[in-house]
């Protein structure tokens, strides 16, 4: 059974003075069985969040990592610098693609670095509104996957806990969401691309696919009701303990239902 994951992307919010307290509150409010919880604060807040989450089973993630081990890359962060601070990393978020002009090839290099450094990656993919309206959404996402994953070691990715987050760009921070049916169809298309185009075969079914894009406690249930969706990559709502508590509680219900259906313990 694929894990149920609720990952919080705090983006450029919180400071070292308040991030730890917020993380501790969220951890205490979201103790539910069967759900993997991850908090991804800004770089400067990683130590505070790590310390606040000590003794819990909430993981800490970074929002990005450089593809090189070290070098003259002003303003960047290496995987070595994240050692002891984070165990997860978000890669290829649409805001990085837009603002830093990150290409699929570059994101693929970062993915390889994350896996080789023991960071569990969440690879973000998603289409623009114009691309969806023109009927090209699946094509765009498939091309992003091919660009980032071509030639990668499938076994290493699976063993490294590889996760994909489908985030339609037009839904991020806009209050709009994809329909649960559309999100589920895209999750299935993602696994089909892995299995057929990239030659992953049955290993594609092992990859958790999260939905992201204005996810809240009010709508997460619609997405988790789709068997092809395994949680959420949450933006603005992840800064609110009540919202996180509601989302994780709903994910726990889904985890129990899926485990029962497969005759497995949570």
Q: What is the rounded distance in angstroms from the CA atom of residue 264 to the CA atom of residue 266?
A: 7
What is the b/e burial string over 129-141, where b = at least 16 CB atoms within 10 angstroms of the residue's CB? eebbeeeebbebb
The model carries a pTM of: 0.97
Residues 69, 71, 72, 77, Cα dihedral to 10°: 30
Q: What is the rounded distance in angstroms from the CA atom of residue 134 to the CA atom of residue 78?
A: 38
Average pLDDT over residues 147-166: 97
DSSP 179-212: -HHHHHHHHHHHHHIIIIIS--GGGGGGS-EEE-
Tokens 């998603």 belong to residue: 126
Is the separation of the CB atoms in 60 and 38 below 8 Å? yes
pLDDT computed for residue 262 by the predictor? 87
pLDDT computed for residue 17 by the predictor? 98
- pLDDT over threshold 90, residue 2: yes
CATH of domain 4-261: 3.20.20.70
Distance of CA 209 to the CA centre of its chain: 8
Tens-digit pLDDT profile for residues 129-144: 999 999 999 999 999 9
Q: Which two tokens stand for residue 9?
A: 């992307």
DSSP strands (E only) in 66-161: 88-91, 120-125
Tens-digit pLDDT profile for residues 54-74: 999 999 999 999 999 999 999
Q: What is the rounded distance in angstroms from the CA atom of residue 29 to the CA atom of residue 6?
A: 13
Average pLDDT over residues 221-249: 98
pLDDT computed for residue 112 by the predictor? 98
Q: What percent of the chain has pLDDT over 70?
A: 100
Tens-digit pLDDT profile for residues 211-230: 998 899 999 999 999 999 99
264 pLDDT tier (thresholds 50, 70, 90): confident
pLDDT computed for residue 43 by the predictor? 98
Map out the domains of the chain as residue ranges.
4-261
CA separation, residue 53 to residues 3, 197, 221 (Å): 21, 40, 26
- pLDDT over threshold 80, residue 266: no
DSSP summary character for residue 95: H
Q: Which 3 state secondary structure label does DSSP give 165? A: strand
pLDDT computed for residue 178 by the predictor? 86
Tens-digit pLDDT profile for residues 90-124: 999 999 999 999 999 999 999 999 999 999 999 99
Partner residues linked to 120 by β-bridges:
88
Residues labelled as active-site residues: 93, 167
């Amino acid at each position: 059974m694929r894990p149920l994951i609720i990952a919080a992307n705090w983006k450029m919010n919180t400071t070292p003075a308040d991030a730890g307290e917020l993380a501790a509150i969220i951890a205490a409010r979201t103790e539910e069985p069967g759900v993997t919880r991850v908090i991804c604060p800004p770089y400067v807040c990683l130590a505070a969040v790590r310390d606040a989450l000590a003794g819990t089973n909430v993981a800490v993630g970074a929002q990005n990592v450089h593809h090189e081990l070290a070098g003259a890359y002003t303003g960047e962060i290496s995987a070595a610098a994240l050692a002891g601070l984070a165990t997860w990393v978000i890669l290829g978020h649409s805001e990085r693609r837009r603002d830093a002009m990150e290409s699929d090839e570059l994101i693929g290099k970062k993915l390889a670095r994350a896996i080789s450094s023991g960071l569990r990656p969440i690879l973000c993919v998603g289409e623009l509104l114009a691309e969806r309206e023109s009927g090209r959404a699946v094509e765009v996402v498939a091309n992003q996957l091919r660009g980032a994953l071509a030639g990668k070691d499938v076994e290493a990715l699976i063993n490294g806990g590889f996760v994909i987050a489908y985030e339609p760009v037009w839904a991020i921070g806009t209050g709009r969401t994809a329909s649960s049916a559309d999100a589920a169809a895209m999750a299935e298309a993602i696994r089909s691309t892995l299995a057929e185009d990239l030659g992953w075969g049955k290993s594609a079914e092992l990859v958790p696919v999260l939905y992201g894009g204005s996810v809240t406690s009010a709508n997460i249930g619609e997405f988790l009701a789709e068997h092809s969706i395994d949680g959420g990559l949450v933006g603005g709502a992840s800064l609110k303990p009540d919202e996180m508590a509601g989302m994780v509680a709903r994910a726990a219900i889904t985890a129990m239902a899926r485990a029962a259906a497969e005759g497995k313990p949570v």
